[in-house]
Chain A
């Protein structure tokens, strides 16, 4: 069964940093784009970032551009989200999601999410 398992969430102070990881299994990870999507408490879904299969291209929402960095290690079947200069409005459940193909389109497999809380 295709699986995505996020980790790395937690409580961090405003201005702090955190790195999220997403370990993939049971599919050829290196051939698919991967996204991070977040959901603030009681709110809707917000796409955050995506990285293409070869890691040749990365894309970011304006709200995180310059503060977050997406990367992947195809040898470890893992995608990362490095978050810095965190703000209260970054508080959310962060989902890792597999894209349909090598580029970033719609997302056909989702992890269960990891919670990030930014608070002093």
Chain B
């Protein structure tokens, strides 16, 4: 099983600042990496797939990068609606696995 780790566990950011979230895979997943956003009481929402492709309707301030085992989600200028938990997920191998999440909260 591929183990996904995310850092930091919590990221405190002021509105308008840049946020950088990391995701690491225990072995290479190529570019088969997705990012999701989840707000309290809501279902997850797909942000990024293929490590760097924004899903439909996702604002340009969200960007993804990386390949192999190291990935990054960047939110260029945090808006109030971006404070949430972010999960990465690999879909290169079975079983599909998620990272433990990074909570982005207001500084």
- Could you list which residues of chain A lie within 8 angstroms of chain B, going by C-beta atoms? 35, 37, 44-47, 50, 59-62, 95, 100, 104-113
Contacts and interface: CB of A to CB of B under 8 A. Distances in A.
Contacts of B99: 44
Q: Is the interface of A mostly helix, strand, loop or mixed?
A: strand
Interface residues of B, number: 25
Nearest to A107: B46
A22 B96 CA distance: 20
Nearest to B91: A105
28 contacts: A35-B96, A37-B44, A44-B87, A44-B98, A45-B38, A45-B44, A45-B89, A46-B98, A47-B89, A47-B96, A59-B95, A60-B95, A61-B95, A95-B44, A100-B49, A105-B49, A105-B91, A106-B34, A106-B46, A106-B49, A106-B89, A107-B46, A108-B49, A109-B46, A110-B43, A110-B44, A111-B43, A112-B43
A112 B49 CA distance: 21
B67 interface: no
A47 B43 contact: no
B7 interface: no
Contact of B98 (A47, A62, A109, A113): A47
A9 B87 CA distance: 25
B34 to A, nearest CB: 4
Nearest to B1: A62
Contacts of B44: 37, 45, 95, 107, 110
A95 B43 contact: yes
A111 B46 CA distance: 12
Contacts of B34: 106-107
